Amino acid sequence: MIETLGGGSPTSILTLPAPRRDHIRGSIGAPIKMLEYGDFECPFCGHAYPIVKMIEQELGDNLCYAFRHFPLTNMHPRAEHAAEAAEAAGAQGMFWEMHDLLFENQNALEEEDLARYAAMLGLNARRLIAEVLAGAYAMRIREDFKGGIRGGVNGTPTFFINGIRYDGADDELLAALTRAAA
Query: How many helices, marked H, and strands, marked E, lie in the chain?
Result: 8, 5
Indicate whether 176 belongs to the interface with other proteins (CB under 8 A): no
Give burial (CB, 10 Å; 0-12/13-18/19+) of 31.
middle
Indicate whether 112 belongs to the interface with other proteins (CB under 8 A): no
For residue 149, the minimal CB distance to other proteins (Å) is 5
Nearest-10 Cα torsion for 168, 33, 37, 106: 90
161 forms beta bridges with: 34, 164
Taking the C-alpha atoms of residue 79 and residue 42, their distance in angstroms, rounded to an integer, is 8
Among 64, 128, 153, 161, binds other proteins (CB under 8 A): 153
Indicate whether 90 belongs to the interface with other proteins (CB under 8 A): no
Residue 158 · residue 15 · CB < 8 Å? no
For residue 109, the minimal CB distance to other proteins (Å) is 16
Among 19, 155, 172, 179, binds other proteins (CB under 8 A): 155
For residue 13, the minimal CB distance to other proteins (Å) is 14
> Which residues between 59 and 88 bind other proteins (CB under 8 A)?
72-75
SS3 content of the chain, % helix, strand, coil (to 5): 50, 15, 35
Among 120, 130, 133, 149, binds other proteins (CB under 8 A): 149
> Which residues between 17 and 56 bind other proteins (CB under 8 A)?
39, 42-45
Q: Which stretches of the chain bind other proteins, using CB under 8 A?
A: 7, 11, 39, 42-45, 72-75, 146, 149-156, 165, 167
